[in-house]
Structure 1
């Protein structure tokens, strides 16, 4: 697992961004099913947490570039480079969601327009996720150039997004929306994560270049994956049983740690095709 920690800024960026986008989808659902002013105020105040986490993620990604000034250079090839497309779509998502939140907090946003705006933010967020997932489909990196990569990214969106949204929205005393479905959706996500992890373990066992075997890059893959799934299982139990904000926050933190582990293993699997390749 240590091999992936050198990409710590990208680990934080991807996990936090995916969790934020997943949460915005749930927030959009809640806002579409809320008319009560007090309930809407709770939702809008809680939305600040999503934007703060997203901001931390973007700051982490800037650190990966070595210098904040290089962040602007990454936008030079929008439409041609997947990296530029990812950053552009992510910035657009941050801007749309942030402007929605600001106008809502200042009570400058009519309800009807607010629904359209939050729906737009959700759509832009999904575009952002599509760009991010496809950025890592690199033909010269066989351990990443697989359908398991976008699947694992979207499953982080599900697990991180649902647990974060539930922690922020369920304690709302004035809520009109119903989130009883959310723990079940989270559980389905955990089951899919387990299936994906099994397939990934089998897949990396069959990949080798002229210089190295993929499995040797993450010798603790099985142990760390088992720990990851245990953390997700505990978080799922808390989501079903917990009612208080501290307990639900703990469920999100466990989910975050679990997905942090999964993403660290992902970056640790980076390898390029050598003069000979099999798999």
Structure 2
């Protein structure tokens, strides 16, 4: 269970970043499509997710009170870069929400802050997979690691966005990310069977669970979009997150004793 905090950290941070990015893209495309109240609620949801992610990351440390030491490796350590980028994203998100709540009439400043926060979310999504591109772990040192982690931001984040922004763009991105996730599985399994067949077999239950949950979440997402049913959209987002958690457990088990 040692890596379980990292499972929650990566998945929840990616879901938060994906949700924020999509909310900003939709706002830029059609500013009248989403109310200020909906944007604020989406921001709060993003903040809760990234706060839970950060708390999970701290639990992974042997000595949580020395978490600040990670800052000393910024620029040269992928893990430090990941932690700093998450902190920057969370800080910008908090500031944008504070301005939105205290100074709602400052529309130009609010949009600028949200765009900057979205850029930091993109940086976070890109930096997280770089922690795991290690030559010493061939089953991780593959482009499939980046593909799956980036897609995770837009399956769960896209489904959650449908709660407040049931737009065609969010629906298309959610479906595209989920379908692409399905399509890369055969090649990914072939890679793992060549690099780590025994560990692959041990983790097949989690991989199978991820695929099954993907299918359920995708059906819920499409149904929620067509019928505009908020609880169904929420269920889709939750199921996607659980699916990504299952897949991430299998991912971490590829180099350690199974959870």
**What TM-score, normalized to structure 1?**
0.85
Structure 1, unaligned runs of 5 or more:
171-178, 208-213, 272-279
Rounded Cα–Cα distance in structure 2 between residues aligned with 1:68 and 1:93: 20
SS of 1:219's partner is helix
The 5-angstrom pairing of residues 97-246 of structure 1 reads 97-107=93-103, 110-170=106-166, 179-207=167-195, 214-242=196-224, 243-246=228-231
Partner of 1:85 in structure 2?
A: 81
Native 8 Å contact 2:82 2:124 kept in 1: yes
8 A Cα contact 2:79 2:131, kept in partner? yes
Structure whose residues are more often helix by fraction: 2
Of 250, 256, 259, the match for 2:235: 250
C-alpha distance in 2 between matches for 1:168 and 1:121:
19
The alignment partner of 1:167 has SS state of helix
- Partners of 1:162 and 1:228 in 2: how far apart? 17
Bigger mean CA deviation after superposition, 234-243 or 152-161: 234-243
Pick one of 57, 63, 74 that aligns with 2:59: 63
> Counterpart of 1:277?
none
Secondary structure of the residue aligned to 2:3 is: helix
Structure 1 SS opposite 2:140: coil
TM-superposed deviation, 1:77: 1.3
Q: Give 1:35 deviation, angstroms.
A: 4.4
The size of the alignment, in residue pairs, is 252
TM-score computed with the length of structure 2 as normaliser? 0.91
Contact kept? 2:159, 2:237, Cα under 8 Å = yes
Larger Rg: 1
Q: Could you give the per-residue CA deviations for residues 43-100 of structure 1, whole angstroms, max 9, x where no partner exists?
A: 1133211101110010000000123212101111111111111111111111111100
- 1:53 and 2:49 are equivalent in the alignment: yes
Determine the structure 2 residue equivalent to 1:274.
none
- Alpha-carbon distance between aligned partners in 1 of 2:202 and 2:57, rounded to the nearest angstrom: 26
Distance in 1 between the 2:45 and 2:205 partners? 32
Q: Indicate the RMSD between aligned Cα atoms, in angstroms.
A: 1.8
- Contiguous gaps of at least 5 residues in structure 2: none
